[in-house]
Amino acid sequence: MVWSASLLFFDLAIGLKSNRPVAKISASSEFQKSEEIPKTEKRPMIPTLLHDQQMVRIPVSPCDNTMKACASVIDVFCGVGSLTHGFKIEGFPVVCGIDVDEACRYPFDANNDAPFICRDVAKLSSQEVAREFYPGIPRVLAGCAPCQPFSIYNQKNDDPKWQLVGEFSRLIREIRPDVVTMENVPRLMKFRSGSVFGDFIRDLEGCGYHVWWNVVFCPDYGVPLQRSRLVLLASRHGHIELEAPRHSPDCYITVRKAIGELPRLRAGDVDAEDSMHCASRLSARNLRRIRESRPGGTWRDWPQELVTECHRRKTGRGYASVYGRMAWDRPSPTITTQFYGFGNGRFGHPEQDRAISLREGAILQSFPKDYDFTRPGEGINFRRIGRLIGNAVPFALARAIARSIRAHLEKFHGQ
């Protein structure tokens, strides 16, 4: 179905006009009611929160010579802001990020010139979201719902967060943004016999969206991880798809290219220049184990006396992905939320006798090397930071998504 250009100016929006009252965002009230602004007042500027918690003002028309893409973006389930940062780097004005996890606030604020809104998306009304978009330019709604419900383990425990995909669908139906994007694990397609993902696509098509989705291999897009992700793009204005891969197997970014030049560390050490470049401690037994591990190898390389009791049993012989080193000259294994622990996966450094550091894990997720995760002087919490990094959308893939949307808008609307 082809939509007319008039849709670009939000004729299907929920009462959103360029001269209507618009909510302000402040540190004390993140979604204030629009009635608090006089009806005669146009939206001259929107306050945003940066990491120093000072009020910084952005003009109502954020599209200037510094912006490559004139479309406003709201990122729900934003986490620490890796997808948001991809849009920012590719020239999109980002309105805000929304996530229920307060721990994401500082990393999001510190790296993205947009406010973090701590709200449960399931309790968020479409009116609250719609009125935050900049008026007069296309609207992009991004929503990467938590992927944990779709893992094999959590499917057995029926994690209720799977319903957040439906909540994202609700926001789309009621807001009708110009472009939608979603990223998740491929297992979402099979969850509940495919009904959750199938219903999501049918909802989009029922609203007139042109929908494209595919499972992509992250190294094809510059992510140094052997990981596949489900990417979906949808537009009300015509066909849209993810850009073609920019990397081939002979030029994938390897572990060596990604982290090979970082300062050396011992287990338990913290780099003097970067507190995120810190390695967890190892017990004497695990230190012996990692010294017996070869790059790209597993616990099967060890002497028998170092093999754990559970791995000696027949039921444990299939767990080859734990207690191993990474290989220098290929992309790393998937970075999970517990990548900082040697026994949690193949997370041993290729040559140093330690697990990879928090900074190394972030870089392997393709975060910029200076992405800020902790406040100055704040102690390092491995579990919290590991969770935030492991749950993030790979940043290089986020940039590819943003570039694809920018190219689509340029093609159909000359943005």
**Lookup result for tokens 């990223």:** 183
What sections of 92-239 are H helices per DSSP?
105-111, 126-130, 152-157, 164-175, 195-206
Q: Phi/psi of residue 228, each to 5°? A: -110, 145
Q: Which two tokens stand for residue 195?
A: 């009904």
Residues 134 and 311: their CA atoms lie apart, in Å, by 56
β partners of residue 117: 98
Handedness of CA 28, 33, 36, 39 (dihedral sign): positive
251 annotated active-site: no
Handedness of CA 8, 11, 13, 16 (dihedral sign): positive
Q: Are 380 and 358 in contact (CB under 8 A)?
A: yes
Q: Which two tokens stand for residue 286?
A: 């695990």
Q: Are 390 and 148 in contact (CB under 8 A)?
A: no
**Lookup result for tokens 């499917």:** 155
Q: Which listed residue (63, 104, 147, 278) is catalytic?
A: 147
Q: Which residues are the active-site residues?
A: 147
